[in-house]
């Protein structure tokens, strides 16, 4: 029997999706911000209990463990990374190779992370062809490092102009530092070169990437290696696989810190994309992951989600491919306040998180959050939050909403709670619309896939404002990012930025350059095979994709091809035809400016089981009645237990469907039907 473990650590909860053959268990434990290894192991322990095993027994039977984490995301959001020092080519300490007035937002973030006082100029030069004009001076490097260390640097970046074409000076500077300050002296002060992080041709983008990576590197190393070591102590002998925001997974040693940024929400989107395409035949959709802190917005187009090659992180363009999502403040912990100038309610962007959490958690939170409003309105049951495992207190929610919102607006507590929910849903819906329209789509033409712990609570409110009439909520809604990770395969990316002219402007193929082209690809492929062997996969398990970057029609473009068989004449002809269709057909010249090889290994995935149709009657799942506030007053509303719903069961709103890990709100004008996968289909009632 094949066992797999997929874990996603969020701001409030750590989720697990654990499979044993055809059986799947969904686990949710509290995130432990002081040490994320604790909640990681707690999740495995809870999953083992569900299967009747010890943690050691489960790990001994497990073939794959994938892990996504908020480490990098939180580090950047909270600005709690280490103090950085930067050695940069003389003349670029302020601009970091960017054009003037290029991006004020990015400049502010970078100045916050690396102040001008922590940037030291180095007199060196490499020209645009990669030729070293002036070698970096070793003594100058020693003095720079001494100053940065004395100034409190706990991590260092070396960024030198044109190092993508020739990294000699960067490597020499690092070797000088390593020789002068051995590891036992430098201790935990890592030294990173930009060329070791990315070979992106743009000096500014490469520098940005290295700086952000260095900023989150410390925490990533601390927790991911600690988690990997904890697994080994428990007897697990395979590598821990880390979820990457590029769309694949790789072992810790092959993970660049920035690869983990936003990886959990990306995993949720990728899992949603697979389910949309494979289960429902839907190619265009919008997905929402409603968590404790925020709402992550994804848009699927054409049945796939492609990573951006130059995504923005905190407004800063970087050179690592990454699937990007929109983000809105609408998580369960988002805090509501009164804007006294306009006498209106605002919600977010700050969140109560897991600690202290909403006021109803009774852990010290004193400001009203969305979860408090849900409890006051009757959407949540104080005795059945997380199936009753976590006690929440309605009186605390009532008191904080009364003091902070209701009394200040001279309205009832219920009206104030309703206003909190409506305000949040309105603002989130606006941002969902912007993300949809940015992809050239119309909201009313799409299906909405909603997941995360709060996806079922909020989805109908968002959809009604957008004109969306159909929603799919998953049976694994509350652990959707962990489930999404379970659908991901091993993926490694290898790059080279050598400029290679394969054909001249006169139409002549360059035999020598073509040989260099083939050799570069062969070296990248060999690196991929070596790394994959380290993760326990044979060469026969691998598939490769080649992506070539070139300038055409005034912009940089990418051409994706099957991996060439390295046969000069035939492959030259095929490449020329493909190149001409993407570049200027009238130009005979072929100049490759970037080569990327992607190596993928498909691993087994859990497949949702099919169930037999049991008819529309959902009476077996009824569990009582509760008063719920629907905008104009409280209405006696039927309650249902999700795990007792069967294929075909249909529920007319208003209704509340409860599970041990989430809640689904069915408004009066919506219906909920359980499909053959036991997923829920929410639709607007036909008039």
pLDDT greater than 50 at residue 201:
yes
555 and 642 belong to one structural domain: no
**Which one of 215, 246, 275 terminates a domain?**
215
Query: Which DSSP symbol is given to 204?
Result: H
Which tokens belong to 595? 């080569």
Contact assessment for residue 125 and residue 90, using Cβ atoms and an 8 Å cutoff: no
Asked if 643 and 565 sit in the same domain, the reply is: no
C-alpha separations of 135 from 123, 141, 611, 637, 682 in Å: 8, 11, 69, 76, 65
* 203, 284: one domain: no
Q: Are strands 470-473 and 447-451 parallel, antiparallel or unpaired?
A: parallel
Give percent helix, percent strand, percent coil of the chain, each to the nearest 5: 40, 25, 35
Q: Can you tell me the mean pLDDT for 32-45?
A: 91
Q: Is the pLDDT of residue 567 over 60?
A: no
- Model confidence band, residue 396 (pLDDT cutoffs 50, 70, 90): very high
Say yes or no: 291 and 413 in one domain. yes
Same domain, 434 and 526: no
Place of tokens 């400001």: 367
Residue 186 pLDDT: 42
Q: Indicate the helix (H) or strand (E) that contains 88.
A: strand 84-89
Instruction: Indicate the pTM of the whole model.
Output: 0.86
Given 486, 503, 528, which residue is the final one in a domain? 486
Across the range 629-637, mean pLDDT stands at: 95
For residues 440-469, give the mean pLDDT.
95
**What would the pLDDT profile of 462-493 be if each residue is shown by its tens digit?**
999 999 999 999 888 888 899 999 999 999 99
CA angle at 356 for the pair 352 and 357, rounded to the nearest 5°? 45
Q: Nearest to residue 529, comparing CAs of 607, 601, 421, 634?
A: 601
Are 328 and 426 contained in the same domain?
yes
Distances (CA, A) of 208 to 95, 97, 220, 454, 661: 11, 10, 18, 34, 39
* CATH number, domain with residue 556: 3.30.1490
Question: What tokens appear for 407 in the block?
Answer: 């009394």
Residue 59 clears pLDDT 90, i.e. is over it: yes
**Terminal C-alpha separation, the chain:** 50
Nearest to 412 by CA among 367, 377, 363: 377
What pLDDT was estimated at residue 91? Answer: 95
Beta strand spans in 452-609 (E) = 470-473, 490-496, 500-503, 542-552, 555-562, 590-592, 594-601
Distance between CA 65 and CA 16 in Å, rounded? 10
- If we measure between CA atoms, which residue out of 527, 399, 462 comes closest to residue 682? 462
Total of domains in the chain: 5
Two tokens, residue 201: 């041709």
Residue 174 lies in a domain: yes
Q: What is the pLDDT of residues 164-192, one digit of tens each?
A: 999 999 999 999 998 887 654 445 678 99
Interval 330-344: pLDDT, tens:
989 999 999 999 999
Query: 62 is written with which tokens?
Result: 């497990």
Indicate whether 612 belongs to any domain.
no
531 versus 425: the higher-pLDDT residue is 425
Task: Work out the widest C-alpha separation in the chain, in whole angstroms.
Answer: 81
Whether residue 134 sits in one domain with residue 250: no
Residue 24 belongs to domain with CATH number: 3.30.420.40
Mean pLDDT of the chain: 90
Instruction: Give residue-wise pLDDT tens across range 5-34.
Output: 999 998 778 999 999 998 999 998 888 888
pLDDT for 185 equals 47
Enter the tokens of residue 682.
């929410």
What is the domain extent for residue 584? Answer: 490-601
Contact status, residue 257 vs residue 81, Cβ threshold 8 Å = no
The region of weakest confidence among 170-179, 373-382, 528-537 is 528-537
Distances (CA, A) of 581 to 306, 551, 588: 21, 13, 12
Report the percentage of the chain scoring pLDDT > 70.
95
Angle, CA of 141, 146 and 147, to the nearest 5°: 100
How high is the pLDDT of residue 477?
Answer: 82
Region 363-377: what's the mean pLDDT? Answer: 95
Q: Which tokens in the block code for residue 264?
A: 């959990």
Does pLDDT of 594 surpass 80?
yes
Look at residue 630 and tell me whether its pLDDT is greater than 70: yes
pLDDT digits (tens, 9 = 90+) for 118-151: 999 999 999 998 999 999 999 999 999 999 999 9
Report d(CA 145, CA 147) in Å as an integer: 5
Inside any domain, residue 656: yes
What is the DSSP secondary-structure string of 44-67? HHHHHHHTT--HHHHHHHEEEEEE
Residue 506 pLDDT > 80, yes or no? no
The confidence score (pLDDT) of residue 425 equals 97
Do residues 403 and 378 make contact, with C-beta atoms less than 8 angstroms apart?
no
Residues 322 and 389 reside in one and the same domain? yes
Question: 674 and 555 in one domain?
Answer: no
Contacts (Cβ under 8 Å, ≥6 apart) of 516: 498, 500
- If you search the block for the tokens 């991006």, which residue do you land on? 103
Q: Are residues 376 and 467 in the same domain?
A: yes
**Strands of 470-473's sheet in order across:** 326-328, 295-300, 285-290, 447-451, 470-473, 680-684, 670-674, 650-652
For residue 30, the model assigns a pLDDT of: 85
Peptide bond into 373 cis (omega under 30): no
pLDDT tens for 220-275 read 888 898 999 999 999 998 889 999 999 999 888 888 899 999 898 899 999 999 99
Contacting residues for 616 by C-beta, under 8 A, at least 6 apart:
648, 649, 650, 673
């Amino acid at each position: 029997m094949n066992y797999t473990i997929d874990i996603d650590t969020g701001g409030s909860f750590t989720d697990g999706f654990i499979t044993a053959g055809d059986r799947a268990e969904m686990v949710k434990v509290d995130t432990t911000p002081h040490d994320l290894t604790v909640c990681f192991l707690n999740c495995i322990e809870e999953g083992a209990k569900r299967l009747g095993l010890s943690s050691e027994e489960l790990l001994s039977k497990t073939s794959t463990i994938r892990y996504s984490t908020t480490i990098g995301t939180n580090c950047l959001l909270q600005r709690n990374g280490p103090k950085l020092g930067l050695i940069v080519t003389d003349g670029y300490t302020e601009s970091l190779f960017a054009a003037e007035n290029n991006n004020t937002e990015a400049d502010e973030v970078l100045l916050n992370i690396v102040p001008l006082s922590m940037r030291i100029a180095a007199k060196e030069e490499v020209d645009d062809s990669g030729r070293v004009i002036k070698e970096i001076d070793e003594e100058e490097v020693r003095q720079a490092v001494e100053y940065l260390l004395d100034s409190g640097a706990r991590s260092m970046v070396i960024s030198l102009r044109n190092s993508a074409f020739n990294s000699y000076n960067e490597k020499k500077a690092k070797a000088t530092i390593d020789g002068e300050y051995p590891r036992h002296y430098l201790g935990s002060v890592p030294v990173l070169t930009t060329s070791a992080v990315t070979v992106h041709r743009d000096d500014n983008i490469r520098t940005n990437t290295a700086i952000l990576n260095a900023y989150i590197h410390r925490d990533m190393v601390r927790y991911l290696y600690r988690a990997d070591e904890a697994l080994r102590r428990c007897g697990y002998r395979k590598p821990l696989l880390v979820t990457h925001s590029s769309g694949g997974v790789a072992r810790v040693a092959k993970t660049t810190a920035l690869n983990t940024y936003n990886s959990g929400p990306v995993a949720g989107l990728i899992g949603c994309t697979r389910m949309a395409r494979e289960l429902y035949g839907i190619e265009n959709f919008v997905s929402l992951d409603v968590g404790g802190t925020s709402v992550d917005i994804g848009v699927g187009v054409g049945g796939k989600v492609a990573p951006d090659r130059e995504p923005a992180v905190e407004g800063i363009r970087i050179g690592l491919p990454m699937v990007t999502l929109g983000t809105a403040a609408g998580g369960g912990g988002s805090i509501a306040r009164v804007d006294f100038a306009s006498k209106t309610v605002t919600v977010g962007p700050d969140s109560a998180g897991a600690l202290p959490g909403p006021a109803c958690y009774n852990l010290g939170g004193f400001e009203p959050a969305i979860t408090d409003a849900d409890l006051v309105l009757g959407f949540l049951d104080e005795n059945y939050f997380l199936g009753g495992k976590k006690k929440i207190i309605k009186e605390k929610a009532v008191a904080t909403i009364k003091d902070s919102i209701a009394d200040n607006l001279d309205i009832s507590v219920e009206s104030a709670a309703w206003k909190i929910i409506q305000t949040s849903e309105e603002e989130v819906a606006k941002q969902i619309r912007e993300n949809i329209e940015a992809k050239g789509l119309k909201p009313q033409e799409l299906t909405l896939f909603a997941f995360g712990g709060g996806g079922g609570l909020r989805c109908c409110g968002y959809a009604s404002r957008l004109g969306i009439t159909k929603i799919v909520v998953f049976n694994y809604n509350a652990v959707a990012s962990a489930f999404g990770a379970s659908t991901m395969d091993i993926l490694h990316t290898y790059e080279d930025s050598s400029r290679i002219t394969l054909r001249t402007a006169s139409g002549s193929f360059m035999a020598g350059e073509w040989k260099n082209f083939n050799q570069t690809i062969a070296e990248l492929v060999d690196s991929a095979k070596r790394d994959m062997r380290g993760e326990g996969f044979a060469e026969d398990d691998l598939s490769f994709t080649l992506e070539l970057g070139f300038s055409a029609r005034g912009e940089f473009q990418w051409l994706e091809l099957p991996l060439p068989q390295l046969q000069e004449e035939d492959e030259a002809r095929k490449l020329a035809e493909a190149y001409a269709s993407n570049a200027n057909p009238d130009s005979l010249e072929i100049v490759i400016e970037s080569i990327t090889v992607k190596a993928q290994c498909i691993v087994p995935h859990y497949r949702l089981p099919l169930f037999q149709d049991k008819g529309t009657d959902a009476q077996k799942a009824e569990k009582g009645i509760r008063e719920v506030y629907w905008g104009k007053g409280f209405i006696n509303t039927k309650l249902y237990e999700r795990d007792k719903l069967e294929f075909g069961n249909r529920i007319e709103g208003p209704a509340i469907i409860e599970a041990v890990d989430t809640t689904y709100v069915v408004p009066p004008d919506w219906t909920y039907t359980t499909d053959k996968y036991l997923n829920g289909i929410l639709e607007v009632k036909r008039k």
